[in-house]
Chains A and B, each alone.
Chain A
Amino acid sequence: MEEIRTGVYICHCGLNIAGVVDVEEVAKYAGQLPGVVVSREYRYMCSDPGQDLIKDDIKELGVNRVVVASCSPRMHEPTFRKAVEDGGLNPYLYEHANIREHCSWVHDDKELATNKAKDLVRAAVRRVCRHEPLVVREAPFTPSVLVIGGGIAGMQAALDIANGHQKVYLVERDPSIGGHMAQLDRTFPTLDCSECILTPKMSDVGHHPFIELHTYSEVEEVSGSIGSFKVKIRKKARYVDESKCVGCGDCEEKCPWKVPSEYEMGLAKRGVIYIPFAQAIPNVATIDGEHCVYLQKGKCRACEKACEAGAIDFEQKDEIIEVEVGAIIVATGYDQFDPAVISQYGYRRFDNVLTGLEFERLTCAAGPTEGKILLKDGREPESVALVHCVGSRDQNYHEYCSRVCCMYALKYAHLAKELTKADVYQFYIDMRCFGEGYEEFYNRLSEEGVNFIRGKVAKITDDAVTDEEKGKLVVVSEDTLLGKLIRVPVDMVILCSALQPRADAENVGKILNINRRADGFFLERHVKLDPVATPTDGIFIAGCCEAPRDIPDTVAQAEATAAKALSLISRGTVTLEAAISTVDESICHGCGRCEEVCPFSAPSIVSKNGVMVSEINEALCKGCGACAVICPTGAVTIKHFTQDEILAQVDALTEAR
């Protein structure tokens, strides 16, 4: 048997560890543990000179097992495995002890923390002796990507990948791509028209030879893992043959039934058969089955008569499409918070209390008022109030800041002034204008004569106390800079509503097996250093499904996810888990319990030399360990997590120092 020669390296991590844990003492302690031939402490083990210590000791001292005690293995285990490998050892002859996240950062008592660090190191040393060299296997990477959500984030990611000549499946739930950006009129801070910059992109997506677009579709099931995800897409019946429809709109005109238009935020109506907006991609009609009188009650078919192209097809059924992709980009965006729950703001009770997206539609030349800002009774408002932080920065609703509201409020202040000459009152708590050109935009609006009032609005009422207030909406707040209660009578109030997670985010998370943060948005792998990856390999997140953000940041994130996907594709293979299950055929009874319990169907019972034994399909095994727990004979083990290793670790932890 080979002689175990372990090297132990204790990292100071500057003062992050050394400020609490007595690293010298831990190193000294480790030095006298059985099997340890060298024990060092160093300022930053992850730095090049730190890694060189390991490599040199392997070469010069014949170290054949390595333990590093530093930050979380989720951060630097790969770094040190690589160093071990570069030093000429198998990378799995390595064990990590977490003495930062699990020790120095959570305990401030120096003695207790030092003792804990010693225990963790002792356990790692005990376990590393039992590690075996493992072979890292590679599997081919399917060179295609699924993008879920066709807002600006999803479109941008899809285009970047497709322009690199790799296949993209873009799945959008609505009848058209475009997302919220398609509803915006102009965009801060430059005030360029949203449509003008978005339409060309939508059209590119619609025609790109490398993009297979599935609108009115949803992802129903995802299995597999990085490199080969198997995806089931439900293409909902739109009762219109996409290949025949020419997008003329005759059907919608003839449809006798009208319902509120989602695109117009309910401010206008659409037909039950409809094309959501003029620039829709694909430019084809869709029958809203829930409201269709023929589909519900069996009588009507007016659209069928109107359609010269003969595209209407009431026999159409939902279709399931199966595709295989190497990576997935989630870009499902956000929902606007419904301010009706804040009853004192009177949304839905008062005609002229609007949300941001509603106002957006009013200012749009193609919108329900042809770009005129009008009150419900058709008059132009003489005064407008903007209420910030509606549902944001408020622990009764959402604790986070929605990041775009200050800026879109400024945009509306400008538009209201430009289009109506109204007096504008902006009620804010803090102005957050952090982006490029944003502070300048704020400055410009001050110049335009907007009245800024610092205070969170307490209520909006039509209960007039002076003649001036009669017939108006009165916005009540403290002007916190004056230290006075202020009542401002206005004609129109715009509530700058929070951006919140999609109502179905939980379900999407389940389908993809990705987590959400406490605020409900999808969780990134690392806030700072891996912001567009999820903890699940091969699945990335872009845009507002991860957190509220503006278009520039959304686009940057989308491009980042595309780069991640392209880099996986260009490598061409994925490294498979090495720590997987293996069977000791000499003790296996062939009982098949492992086969029953495995969620990935990796084990199967086969006959070998006339004896029934379990055989593991290495390509399928993910190393979850369920088989090893259930196996009555102990024939199955998970490499790198063997019973022997974990028992040794536990044993070491229970011993006295």
Chain B
Amino acid sequence: MAGFEPQIIAFCCNWCTYAAADLAGTSRMQYPANVRIVRVMCSGMVNPLYVLKAFEGGVDGVLIAGCHLTDCHYIDGPTKCDAMVDKLREMLHVLGLEDERLRREMVAASEGVLFARVIKEMVEQLKKIGPSPFKARTEALA
């Protein structure tokens, strides 16, 4: 899979992970340019449809990241998000997508280093497992 550059969409909550990504920026940490961040107000706001849409569009991985369990600006968004992700995983299984393609993380506003690391790890992992099977399908359809 030489030269394969995975495409990642990250849904990041405004209060923690989006801020952590900002911090990674202000601290000039380098991480691979494969990720595109979509800002949501809370991880509990992420609708499974958004993730499915992303995969349908052919992305290789999706990250959902927000505050730690007790840090949420809206009290318990992360718990709701976890429940949503659990269900979504089952669905992705049925669709034949590997587990690694959907990653759920909690990254606090101060954890710029962690954000950069998560992206690096994800890119490496996705490089190992190769392009999303959906990509081929969508391309075939097109």
A residues at B contact (CB < 8 Å):
72-74, 98, 100-103, 105-109, 112-113, 115-116, 119-120, 123, 510, 513, 515-518, 523, 535-536, 579, 597, 599-600, 622-626, 628-630, 638, 641, 643, 646-647, 649-651, 653-655
Question: Cβ of B25 and Cβ of A646 under 8 Å apart?
Answer: no
Extra A-B contacts (18), CB below 8 Å, given A98-B37, A626-B42: A74-B18, A74-B19, A103-B33, A106-B30, A116-B36, A123-B36, A510-B70, A513-B71, A624-B73, A629-B44, A629-B84, A641-B41, A646-B38, A646-B40, A650-B50, A650-B57, A653-B57, A654-B54
Asked if A655 meets B57 with Cβ closer than 8 Å, knowing A623-B41, A625-B45, the reply is yes
Tell yes or no: B76 within 8 A of A by CB.
yes
Q: How many residues of B contact A (CB 8 A)?
A: 52
Question: Cβ of A102 and Cβ of B38 under 8 Å apart?
Answer: no
How far is A626 from B76 in the complex, measured between Cα atoms in Å? 9
Question: Cβ of B7 and Cβ of A105 under 8 Å apart?
Answer: no
Asked if A119 meets B36 with Cβ closer than 8 Å, knowing A106-B116, A515-B16, A646-B47, the reply is yes
Looking at the assembled complex, report how far the CB atom of A518 sits from the nearest CB atom of chain B, in whole angstroms.
5
Asked if A628 meets B33 with Cβ closer than 8 Å, knowing A102-B25, A106-B24, A650-B57, the reply is no
How far is A536 from B19 in the complex, measured between Cα atoms in Å? 13
How far is A119 from B8 in the complex, measured between Cα atoms in Å? 12
Question: Cβ of A650 and Cβ of B70 under 8 Å apart?
Answer: no
Question: Cβ of A106 and Cβ of B53 under 8 Å apart?
Answer: no
Asked if A653 meets B41 with Cβ closer than 8 Å, knowing A72-B25, A647-B50, the reply is no
Question: Cβ of A102 and Cβ of B22 under 8 Å apart?
Answer: yes
Q: Which of B92-100, B105-113, B121-129 contacts A (4 or more CB under 8 A)?
A: B105-113
Question: Cβ of A101 and Cβ of B21 under 8 Å apart?
Answer: yes
Show 22 A/B contacts (Cβ-Cβ < 8 Å), sorted by A.
Answer: A98-B22, A106-B29, A106-B30, A107-B31, A107-B32, A109-B33, A113-B33, A115-B33, A123-B38, A513-B73, A515-B108, A518-B111, A523-B110, A535-B19, A624-B42, A624-B44, A625-B41, A626-B44, A626-B77, A629-B48, A650-B38, A654-B59
How far is A119 from B77 in the complex, measured between Cα atoms in Å? 28
* Residue in chain A with minimal CB distance to B44: A626
Question: Cβ of A515 and Cβ of B25 under 8 Å apart?
Answer: no
* Residue in chain A with minimal CB distance to B51: A650
Question: Cβ of A641 and Cβ of B40 under 8 Å apart?
Answer: yes
1/0 contact string of B76-92 vs chain A (CB within 8 Å) = 11001000100000000
Asked if A624 meets B77 with Cβ closer than 8 Å, knowing A650-B50, A654-B57, the reply is yes
Looking at the assembled complex, report how far the CB atom of B46 sits from the nearest CB atom of chain A, in whole angstroms.
7
